[in-house]
Amino acid sequence: MKFKIGDFVRFVDEPVEGHITSFQNDDIIGVTDDSGFEIPVPANKITLVHGNMRHHDDLEDETKGVTANTPFIERGIYVGIAGEQKDGLAQFYFINHTSYDIMVVANEINGTKRTGIFAGKILTKDFVQFYSANFSNLGKWPNFEIQILRYSMIQHNAVSVLDKELRIKPLDLIRSKENDDLLQVKVWRYELDKPEENIGLDKLKDHFISHRPNRR
Protein backbone atom coordinates (compact mmCIF):
# COMPACT_ATOMS: atom_id res chain seq x y z
CA MET A 1 0.00 0.00 0.00
CA LYS A 2 1.32 3.43 -0.91
CA PHE A 3 1.16 5.99 1.90
CA LYS A 4 1.46 9.78 1.81
CA ILE A 5 2.43 12.46 4.28
CA GLY A 6 -0.72 13.41 6.18
CA ASP A 7 -2.43 10.00 5.88
CA PHE A 8 -4.26 8.86 9.01
CA VAL A 9 -3.16 5.32 9.91
CA ARG A 10 -3.63 2.67 12.60
CA PHE A 11 -1.00 0.28 13.95
CA VAL A 12 -1.70 -3.36 13.11
CA ASP A 13 -0.44 -4.82 16.40
CA GLU A 14 -1.21 -1.96 18.84
CA PRO A 15 -4.18 0.33 19.60
CA VAL A 16 -2.34 3.39 18.25
CA GLU A 17 -3.47 5.84 15.57
CA GLY A 18 -1.84 8.92 14.09
CA HIS A 19 -0.82 10.87 11.02
CA ILE A 20 2.19 10.06 8.84
CA THR A 21 4.71 12.86 9.27
CA SER A 22 7.92 11.41 7.79
CA PHE A 23 9.44 8.62 5.70
CA GLN A 24 12.68 7.14 7.03
CA ASN A 25 15.19 4.52 5.92
CA ASP A 26 14.43 0.81 5.40
CA ASP A 27 10.66 1.23 4.94
CA ILE A 28 10.30 2.90 8.34
CA ILE A 29 7.51 5.47 8.59
CA GLY A 30 7.20 8.19 11.22
CA VAL A 31 3.69 8.35 12.69
CA THR A 32 2.74 11.19 15.05
CA ASP A 33 -0.06 10.42 17.52
CA ASP A 34 -2.32 12.82 19.42
CA SER A 35 0.35 13.32 22.08
CA GLY A 36 2.65 14.87 19.48
CA PHE A 37 5.31 12.14 19.59
CA GLU A 38 6.58 10.70 16.32
CA ILE A 39 6.78 6.90 16.46
CA PRO A 40 8.92 4.97 13.93
CA VAL A 41 7.09 1.91 12.62
CA PRO A 42 7.63 -0.51 9.70
CA ALA A 43 5.38 0.23 6.73
CA ASN A 44 3.86 -3.26 6.88
CA LYS A 45 2.72 -2.67 10.48
CA ILE A 46 0.27 0.16 9.74
CA THR A 47 -2.96 0.38 7.80
CA LEU A 48 -4.80 3.35 6.32
CA VAL A 49 -7.84 4.58 8.24
CA HIS A 50 -10.67 6.13 6.22
CA GLY A 51 -13.23 8.66 7.36
CA ASN A 52 -11.00 10.74 9.61
CA MET A 53 -11.41 14.48 9.99
CA ARG A 54 -12.90 14.97 6.50
CA HIS A 55 -9.66 13.92 4.83
CA HIS A 56 -9.62 14.37 1.07
CA ASP A 57 -9.78 10.61 0.38
CA ASP A 58 -13.18 10.46 2.07
CA LEU A 59 -15.08 13.43 0.71
CA GLU A 60 -18.75 12.73 0.24
CA ASP A 61 -20.30 13.24 -3.16
CA GLU A 62 -22.65 15.97 -2.10
CA THR A 63 -24.04 19.17 -3.58
CA LYS A 64 -24.21 22.45 -1.73
CA GLY A 65 -25.86 24.74 -4.24
CA VAL A 66 -25.67 28.50 -4.14
CA THR A 67 -29.04 30.01 -4.97
CA ALA A 68 -29.43 33.06 -7.13
CA ASN A 69 -30.82 34.97 -4.11
CA THR A 70 -27.69 34.36 -2.05
CA PRO A 71 -24.96 37.03 -2.24
CA PHE A 72 -22.09 35.61 -4.29
CA ILE A 73 -18.87 35.54 -2.27
CA GLU A 74 -15.84 36.01 -4.52
CA ARG A 75 -13.01 35.78 -1.99
CA GLY A 76 -12.10 33.64 0.99
CA ILE A 77 -9.88 30.68 0.09
CA TYR A 78 -7.45 29.96 2.90
CA VAL A 79 -4.81 27.61 4.14
CA GLY A 80 -5.42 27.17 7.86
CA ILE A 81 -2.99 25.58 10.32
CA ALA A 82 -4.52 24.14 13.49
CA GLY A 83 -2.88 22.63 16.56
CA GLU A 84 -0.90 23.68 19.58
CA GLN A 85 2.88 23.77 19.48
CA LYS A 86 3.06 22.13 22.91
CA ASP A 87 1.04 19.17 21.57
CA GLY A 88 3.42 18.68 18.65
CA LEU A 89 1.09 18.07 15.68
CA ALA A 90 0.14 20.73 13.12
CA GLN A 91 -2.82 20.05 10.82
CA PHE A 92 -3.09 21.87 7.48
CA TYR A 93 -6.47 22.63 5.89
CA PHE A 94 -7.78 24.14 2.70
CA ILE A 95 -10.80 26.24 3.72
CA ASN A 96 -13.29 27.48 1.13
CA HIS A 97 -15.44 30.38 2.34
CA THR A 98 -16.39 31.42 -1.20
CA SER A 99 -19.45 30.64 -3.31
CA TYR A 100 -17.26 28.66 -5.71
CA ASP A 101 -16.61 24.96 -5.77
CA ILE A 102 -12.86 24.69 -6.18
CA MET A 103 -10.43 22.16 -7.59
CA VAL A 104 -7.11 22.20 -5.77
CA VAL A 105 -3.72 20.73 -6.64
CA ALA A 106 -0.92 21.06 -4.09
CA ASN A 107 2.70 20.06 -4.60
CA GLU A 108 5.75 20.07 -2.38
CA ILE A 109 8.56 22.04 -4.03
CA ASN A 110 11.97 20.35 -4.12
CA GLY A 111 14.20 22.64 -6.20
CA THR A 112 13.06 22.14 -9.79
CA LYS A 113 11.08 19.00 -8.90
CA ARG A 114 7.57 18.62 -7.49
CA THR A 115 5.91 15.97 -5.31
CA GLY A 116 2.13 15.85 -5.25
CA ILE A 117 0.55 15.92 -1.79
CA PHE A 118 -3.10 16.70 -2.57
CA ALA A 119 -5.54 16.88 -5.47
CA GLY A 120 -9.27 17.17 -5.01
CA LYS A 121 -12.51 19.10 -5.06
CA ILE A 122 -13.67 21.29 -2.17
CA LEU A 123 -17.27 22.42 -2.22
CA THR A 124 -18.44 25.90 -1.32
CA LYS A 125 -18.38 26.56 2.43
CA ASP A 126 -16.32 23.43 3.12
CA PHE A 127 -12.81 22.40 4.14
CA VAL A 128 -10.34 19.53 3.77
CA GLN A 129 -7.27 18.52 5.73
CA PHE A 130 -4.42 18.02 3.28
CA TYR A 131 -1.22 17.75 5.31
CA SER A 132 0.21 17.14 8.80
CA ALA A 133 3.60 17.99 10.26
CA ASN A 134 5.46 18.25 13.55
CA PHE A 135 5.93 21.69 15.07
CA SER A 136 9.38 20.52 16.12
CA ASN A 137 10.31 20.39 12.41
CA LEU A 138 8.84 23.82 11.62
CA GLY A 139 12.00 25.02 9.95
CA LYS A 140 11.83 22.05 7.57
CA TRP A 141 8.18 22.36 6.58
CA PRO A 142 7.87 22.23 2.80
CA ASN A 143 7.36 25.07 0.39
CA PHE A 144 3.92 24.46 -1.15
CA GLU A 145 2.95 25.12 -4.75
CA ILE A 146 -0.84 25.52 -4.93
CA GLN A 147 -3.05 25.81 -8.02
CA ILE A 148 -6.81 26.39 -7.78
CA LEU A 149 -9.62 26.37 -10.32
CA ARG A 150 -12.89 28.08 -9.31
CA TYR A 151 -16.28 26.93 -10.62
CA SER A 152 -19.90 27.96 -10.17
CA MET A 153 -23.11 27.51 -12.14
CA ILE A 154 -24.20 30.92 -10.84
CA GLN A 155 -23.19 33.79 -13.11
CA HIS A 156 -20.02 35.43 -11.81
CA ASN A 157 -17.10 37.58 -12.86
CA ALA A 158 -14.38 35.89 -14.88
CA VAL A 159 -11.53 34.61 -12.72
CA SER A 160 -8.16 33.17 -13.66
CA VAL A 161 -6.43 30.12 -12.20
CA LEU A 162 -4.92 30.81 -8.79
CA ASP A 163 -1.24 29.92 -8.75
CA LYS A 164 0.48 30.46 -5.40
CA GLU A 165 3.58 29.44 -3.50
CA LEU A 166 3.28 29.22 0.28
CA ARG A 167 6.13 28.92 2.73
CA ILE A 168 5.36 28.87 6.45
CA LYS A 169 8.12 30.58 8.43
CA PRO A 170 8.68 30.19 12.20
CA LEU A 171 8.02 33.91 12.73
CA ASP A 172 4.59 33.53 11.09
CA LEU A 173 3.36 31.51 14.07
CA ILE A 174 4.20 34.24 16.56
CA ARG A 175 1.06 36.13 15.53
CA SER A 176 -2.27 35.25 17.09
CA LYS A 177 -4.60 32.66 15.61
CA GLU A 178 -7.93 33.59 14.05
CA ASN A 179 -11.23 31.86 14.70
CA ASP A 180 -12.53 30.17 11.54
CA ASP A 181 -16.31 29.77 11.36
CA LEU A 182 -16.14 26.68 9.14
CA LEU A 183 -13.52 24.78 11.12
CA GLN A 184 -14.87 26.16 14.41
CA VAL A 185 -11.36 26.29 15.83
CA LYS A 186 -8.65 28.93 15.91
CA VAL A 187 -6.02 28.63 13.18
CA TRP A 188 -3.19 30.53 11.59
CA ARG A 189 -4.76 31.58 8.28
CA TYR A 190 -3.20 32.43 4.93
CA GLU A 191 -5.52 33.94 2.32
CA LEU A 192 -4.69 32.46 -1.07
CA ASP A 193 -7.00 34.63 -3.19
CA LYS A 194 -6.02 37.96 -1.67
CA PRO A 195 -5.44 40.53 -4.45
CA GLU A 196 -1.82 41.33 -5.13
CA GLU A 197 -0.83 44.66 -3.60
CA ASN A 198 0.25 47.37 -6.02
CA ILE A 199 3.26 48.97 -4.37
CA GLY A 200 3.58 51.59 -7.10
CA LEU A 201 6.92 50.60 -8.59
CA ASP A 202 6.40 52.94 -11.55
CA LYS A 203 5.78 55.90 -9.24
CA LEU A 204 8.80 54.93 -7.14
CA LYS A 205 10.95 54.72 -10.26
CA ASP A 206 9.73 58.13 -11.48
CA HIS A 207 10.49 59.61 -8.05
CA PHE A 208 14.11 58.46 -8.10
CA ILE A 209 14.62 59.55 -11.72
CA SER A 210 13.16 63.00 -11.04
CA HIS A 211 15.35 63.41 -7.93
CA ARG A 212 18.52 62.08 -9.51
CA PRO A 213 21.39 64.64 -9.27
CA ASN A 214 22.35 66.24 -12.58
CA ARG A 215 25.66 65.08 -13.92
CA ARG A 216 28.03 67.69 -15.31
Query: Cα(23)–Cα(37) distance, rounded to whole angstroms?
Result: 15
* Same-domain pairing of 167 and 72: yes
- Please, which residues have CB within 8 angstroms of residue 72's CB and are 6 or more apart in sequence? 66, 99, 152, 154, 156
Would 213 be classed as within a structural domain? no
Q: Rounded to 5 degrees, what are φ and ψ at 167?
A: -125, 120
Comparison of pLDDT for 65 and 109, the residue scoring more: 109
* Same-domain pairing of 63 and 157: yes
The total number of structural domains in the chain stands at 2
Instruction: Render pLDDT for 151-176 as a digit per residue (tens, 0 to 9).
Output: 999 999 999 999 999 999 988 999 99
* Same-domain pairing of 153 and 125: yes
Comparison of pLDDT for 123 and 66, the residue scoring more: 123
- Regarding pTM above 0.85, the answer is no
* Same-domain pairing of 164 and 67: yes
Would 208 be classed as within a structural domain? no
Would 14 be classed as within a structural domain? yes
Q: CA nearest 103: which of 148, 49, 54?
A: 148
Which domain range does residue 33 map to? 8-48
**Residue 165's domain is classified under what CATH number?**
2.60.40.1600
* Same-domain pairing of 62 and 21: no
Instruction: Render pLDDT for 84-131 as a digit per residue (tens, 0 to 9).
Output: 888 788 999 999 999 999 999 999 999 999 999 999 999 999 999 999
If you average pLDDT over residues 28-34, what whole number do you get? 87
* Same-domain pairing of 85 and 185: yes
Q: CA nearest 105: which of 161, 50, 156?
A: 161
pLDDT band at 212, cuts 50/70/90?
A: low
Strand 77-82, strand 185-191: pairing: antiparallel
Would 76 be classed as within a structural domain? yes
* Same-domain pairing of 133 and 73: yes
Would 204 be classed as within a structural domain? no
